[in-house]
């Protein structure tokens, strides 16, 4: 089936061209109402948006075929991430396409604050010549405090260092090595507030960062500080900032983002020393083109190759990695599905181990595939996106283990389920680096393909059992496709995996359970 994508916001036409060049059907329908969007979405596998389209829970519910939402830009405030994850929809953004543009806007606002440019312009154009009124400050030798030193923050740091500023940064995720590489000093927030002449924010809006510059924090700043925010509204308490500007604690502030947007009214409007722009951080010709092209490439890679880039709710998987990992993910999904069907509600935790060649691969997609198979027992709509969430909701403890040791197989994936009765383990390998094959089930060596309809049978190893099994199935009109048998020891516990052409009815399962020596019979579906 040819993937189909809807572009629901105005976007550079080259984005649609990329989709078409990659063999994806695409429709451009900007300015749809929410009801129109919900009506048109069935049948689309991808939705490309900017900031206007609101991908809410009810919109997602109206899109049964949707696999990916691509946001051309950084912020995903207009996408209900939990709802998308619950429905198994990947949400991507383009965090690097407008990084330079946003960083440059922050620097521009810093210059505007330092030299009071908007007020000086308005005064001059009003016919005044107030040269002595606008006494600015130099940026050279001043201390710039970064709240957030990620992609955009690091670009701002580089530009500020070029202006001969000293740069300090508060960022819990900034390593000392990275700080040294950037030529900046890592500090705690209180230190930054006390030392910075200019503060610029470059952090996402989270529960931890909301109101990070509130009334108390602003009171701890260096008197006469100037503050710039091109990141997210809500990082600064706007009412508290107004008070700080009025008191002189803050000498100037420049906001490109507001708590409520569009910001048609704000307590800050008209305050001396305040500059505002209407969320222009990413508004350059180059940035709009870049993010549009990036989102088209990312979505195409996902829909055609399985590559996952810049996803918000799923581990990354490059388009180059995807072909190598695809057979491992197929194997992992089958192992998880086997455990889920045999053990059901008994599973309390799961450990995923990779050995041999598998140990050199990105393990996150393998883990996601195991969980998708396992959780598929409980939900018909589970996939790699929502499986980890479902597992967490069920309280499953998930562990990943990587072994560099020599193993009997060239490559091996082992999945161990914790149950009240103890640990139960299955393992599989790839034949010819492509064909998934079960090689161990609960400590019994069995080589079997996991495909179609199967029966998992545990019995006492005794003469005549296979004949009785075949007779029972034959009498019910069920044809055996393949038969795989293993045992712990002669006369001990034996395990059979029997592939059949059709589903086995419940009454036939009961007949099999009644055979002498049979301990357990579980119908399987792969």
Q: Could you tell me where the DSSP H helices lie in 5-98?
A: 13-21, 34-40, 57-61, 81-86
Expressed in angstroms, the distance from the first to the final Cα of the chain is 22
Distance in angstroms (rounded) separating the CA atoms of residues 336 and 372: 7
496: nearest Cα among 451, 453, 441: 441
Classify 345 as helix, strand or coil: helix
Instruction: Put residue 273 in one of left, alpha, beta given phi > 0 → left and psi -120 to 50 → alpha.
Output: left
Q: Are 317 and 306 in contact (CB under 8 A)?
A: yes
Catalytic status, residue 353: no
Four-CA torsion 53, 55, 58, 64, nearest 10 degrees: 110
Place of tokens 């600064």: 236
Q: How far is CA 26 from the centre of its chain?
A: 24
Radius of gyration of the chain (CA): 30
The Cα–Cα gap between 468 and 476 comes to: 13
**Which among 130, 181, 216, 261 is annotated as catalytic?**
261
DSSP symbol at 515 = S
71 in Cβ contact with 84 (< 8 Å): no
SS3 assignment, position 353? strand
Can you list the alpha helix ranges (DSSP code H) found in 51-187?
57-61, 81-86, 99-114, 117-125, 151-162, 176-182
CA angle centred on 91, ends 85 and 93, rounded to 5° = 150
Known catalytic residue at 402:
no
DSSP 236: B
Q: Is 261 labeled as catalytic in the residue annotation?
A: yes
Query: Which candidate in 279, 337, 414, 424 is catalytic?
Result: 279
Which residues belong to the active site? Answer: 232, 261, 279
């Amino acid at each position: 089936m040819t993937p189909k994508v809807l572009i629901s916001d105005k976007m550079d036409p080259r984005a649609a061209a990329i989709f078409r060049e990659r063999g994806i059907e695409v429709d451009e329908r900007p300015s749809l109402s929410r009801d129109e969007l919900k009506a048109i979405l069935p049948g689309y596998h991808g939705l490309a948006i900017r900031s206007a389209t609101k991908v809410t829970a009810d919109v997602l519910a109206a899109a049964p075929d949707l696999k990916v939402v691509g946001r051309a830009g950084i912020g995903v405030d207009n996408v209900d991430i939990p709802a998308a994850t619950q429905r198994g929809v990947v949400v991507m953004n383009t965090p690097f396409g407008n990084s330079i543009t946003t960083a440059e806007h922050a620097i521009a606002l810093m210059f505007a604050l330092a030299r009071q440019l908007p007020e000086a312009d308005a005064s001059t154009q009003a016919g005044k010549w107030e040269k002595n009124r606008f006494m600015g400050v130099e940026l050279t030798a001043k201390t710039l405090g970064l709240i957030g030193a990620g992609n955009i923050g690091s670009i701002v740091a580089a530009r500020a260092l070029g202006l001969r500023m000293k740069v300090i940064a508060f960022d819990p995720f900034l390593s000392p090595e990275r700080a040294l590489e950037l030529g900046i000093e890592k500090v705690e927030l209180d230190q930054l507030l006390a030392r910075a002449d200019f503060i610029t924010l470059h952090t996402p809006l989270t529960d931890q960062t909301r109101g990070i510059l509130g009334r108390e924090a602003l009171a701890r700043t260096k008197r006469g500080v100037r503050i710039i925010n091109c990141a997210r509204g809500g990082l600064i308490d706007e009412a508290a900032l107004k008070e700080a500007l009025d008191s002189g604690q803050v000498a100037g502030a420049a906001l490109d983002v507001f708590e409520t947007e569009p910001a048609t009214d704000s307590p800050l409007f008209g305050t001396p020393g305040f500059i505002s722009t209407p969320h222009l951080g990413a508004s350059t010709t180059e940035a709009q083109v870049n993010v549009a092209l990036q989102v088209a490439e990312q979505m195409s890679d996902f829909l055609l190759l399985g590559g996952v880039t810049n996803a918000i709710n799923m581990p990354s998987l490059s388009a180059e990695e995807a072909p190598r990992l695809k057979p491992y993910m197929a194997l992992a999904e089958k192992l998880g599905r086997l455990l889920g069907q045999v053990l059901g509600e008994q599973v309390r935790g799961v450990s995923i181990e990779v050995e041999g060649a598998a140990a050199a691969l990105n393990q996150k997609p393998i883990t996601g595939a195991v969980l998708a198979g396992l959780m598929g027992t409980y939900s018909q709509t589970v996939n790699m996106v929502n499986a980890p969430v479902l597992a967490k909701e069920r309280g499953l403890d998930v562990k990943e283990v990587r072994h560099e040791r020599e193993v009997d197989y060239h490559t091996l994936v082992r999945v161990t389920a914790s149950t009240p009765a103890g640990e139960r383990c299955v393992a599989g390998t790839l034949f010819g680096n492509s064909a998934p094959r079960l090689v161990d089930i609960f400590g019994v060596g069995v080589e079997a393909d996991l495909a179609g309809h199967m029966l998992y049978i545990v019995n006492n190893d005794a003469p005549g059992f296979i004949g009785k099994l075949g007779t029972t199935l034959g009498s019910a009109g069920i044809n055996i496709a393949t038969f795989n048998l293993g045992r712990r020891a002669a006369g001990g516990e034996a395990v059979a995996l029997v592939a059949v052409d059709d589903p086995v009815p419940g009454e036939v399962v009961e007949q099999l359970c009644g055979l002498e020596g049979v301990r357990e019979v579980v119908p399987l579906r792969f």
